[in-house]
C-alpha cells in the first residue's frame, strides 16, 4: 500500500502536524507547530497520531532514492534550477503505509 498526496485547502496544510518540502527537494521539515507554508514550497498535512509517519516521510523525501526518482520524473529537475512540483511528487512511490505506525516508531 502506498501513501498518496492529496490536495487540500491551503490553510489546512498549515495546521500541525505537517511536513514542509522545498521545491528543489533540498529539505523536508516535520513540524508540530502552526506554520504558513512559504510560496513555491509544498506542504503535506497529517492528522494527530500520524507524527511518526510524517517524520519518516520527511526523511524519505530527501533520500537519494527520492531525489533520483524526481530527477527522471520532473521536467525541470537537474536543469539550471532544480524545480519539482506537486505533480512530480504524486509520481513518487511512498511505501511507508505497509510498515504501520508501530513499526515506524521503532
* Tens of pLDDT, residues 70-105: 777 777 776 666 677 777 777 787 777 655 666 766
Query: Does any domain span residue 1?
Result: no
Q: Locate 65 and state its grid cell.
A: 532514492
Q: How many domains does the chain have?
A: 1
Q: Locate 104 and state its grid cell.
A: 515506524
Query: Does any domain span residue 2?
Result: no
Query: Cell numbers 524526481 correspond to what residue?
Result: 70
Task: Report how far residue 71's alpha carbon sits from residue 50's, in angstroms, rounded to the nearest whole number.
Answer: 28
Query: 59: domain range?
Result: 10-94
Cβ–Cβ < 8 Å for 19, 54: yes
Task: Report how far residue 30's alpha carbon sits from residue 19's, in angstroms, rounded to the nearest whole number.
Answer: 4
% of the chain exceeding 90 in pLDDT = 13
Phi/psi at 45 (5° precision): -85, 150
Query: Does any domain span residue 77?
Result: yes
% of the chain exceeding 70 in pLDDT = 75
Amino acid at each position: 500500500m502506498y501513501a498518496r498526496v492529496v490536495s487540500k485547502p491551503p490553510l489546512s496544510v498549515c495546521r500541525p502536524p505537517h511536513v514542509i518540502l522545498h521545491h528543489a527537494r533540498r529539505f523536508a521539515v516535520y513540524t508540530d507547530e502552526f506554520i504558513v507554508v512559504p510560496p513555491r514550497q509544498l506542504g503535506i498535512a497529517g492528522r494527530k497520531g500520524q507524527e511518526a509517519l510524517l517524520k519518516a516521510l520527511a526523511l524519505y523525501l530527501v533520500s537519494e532514492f527520492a531525489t533520483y526518482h524526481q530527477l527522471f520524473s520532473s521536467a525541470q529537475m537537474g536543469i539550471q534550477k532544480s524545480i519539482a512540483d506537486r505533480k512530480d511528487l504524486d509520481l513518487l512511490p511512498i511505501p511507508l503505509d505497509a510498515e504501520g505506525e508501530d513499526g515506524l516508531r521503532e
